Structure 1
Amino acid sequence: MASTIRNTKDFFSGLLFTAIGSAALVLARDYEMGTLLRMGPGYYPSVLAGGLLLVGLICLVRSFRTDGTPIGRLAWKPMLLVVLPIACFGILIRDAGLVPAIVLLVMVSAYASERFSFKATVPLALGMCVFSWLIFIKGLGLPMQLLGPWFGF
């Protein structure tokens, strides 16, 4: 009796979750686990990876049991407009500073939406700058600059 995939979205999501969860479990095995009351450095990554692996397996089983819609065309433009600003944020944070990195991240990522509005995105970017400043610089005391060496600071 041959099994057929009835829900391709669940199938490929399940494969992705299972692969990432399995890889994380393999990477975390070198760390000490510890106990529930005295967790080691490998405890949380292993639990998180196990949960992701479980979700992946559930998605895989569902893909054979429930009907779903087929996968449509891959939306390259929105995907790139979300992924590339994240990479740019990591590159810019040190030399440009927190504010330019966040503004670029929010503005370009928001442009991926079909309902992009410059008028609505500017306050969001500025709000994220203030929020990040409060949390990371004031609250946690991380040594980040609002404006980096590229701006003469």
Structure 2
Amino acid sequence: MKIKSQRDFWSGLLFLLVGLTFAWGATEYQFGSSAKPGPGYFPFSLGVLLALLGGMVLFKAVTIESAEGDPIGPIAWRPLLVIVGAIALFGLALPRLGLVVTLPLLVFISSLAGDEFHWRDALISAVVLTAGSWLIFVWGLKLTIPVWPVFLA
């Protein structure tokens, strides 16, 4: 077997492995039925779909020739670490600082991962995401997510 696209091969393999892992992990939960799905129904379905997508990308990587084999470039460590750090900070800060402080903080820190940073774009994204998250999760779904910092509540 000759790999004709390195990018497609490794991304397809990653999708396949992550999808199978999620589908396998979801078997620990009750499935329910299509009319009344249980907690394992949705993650299992998504895992299977992701694995199928990975299989299709893998198939493409070994059958369709690409320019110079689509080599994989160097790993972009800075954006990877900035994004992972911002998400970890979000998880740690949300219970103490609330949604209205933590989500804009996540947006601003994550915006620093790219090569182009514009305050106006980050501010608009932060406002829209914060308002949308409040509407969907706090008001619509009635989840108990702290909205305001602990010292203001």
Tell me the equivalent position of 1:60.
58
1:33 Cα shift? 2.6
Tell me the equivalent position of 2:12.
14
The 5 A counterparts of 1:1-153 are 3-66=1-64, 67=66, 68-149=69-150, 151-153=151-153
Summarize the Cα distance change of 1:103–1:64 in structure 2 as closer, same or farther, 3 Å threshold.
same
Q: How many residues align?
A: 150
TM-score normalised to the size of structure 2? 0.87
Matched AA of 1:148: P
Point out the more displaced range, 112-121 or 4-13.
Answer: 112-121
Structure 2: distance between partners of 1:109 and 1:98:
16
Structure 1: distance between partners of 2:147 and 2:40:
34
Give a deviation string over 1:20-70, Cα, whole Å, max 9, x none.
Answer: 111112212222333323333322222111111111111111111122421
Matched AA of 1:91: L
Structure 2, gaps ≥5 residues long = none
Cα RMSD (Å)? 1.7
Point out the more displaced range, 126-135 or 3-12.
Answer: 126-135
Misfit runs of 4+, over 4 Å: none
Structure 1, gaps ≥5 residues long = none
Point out the more displaced range, 9-18 or 35-44.
Answer: 35-44
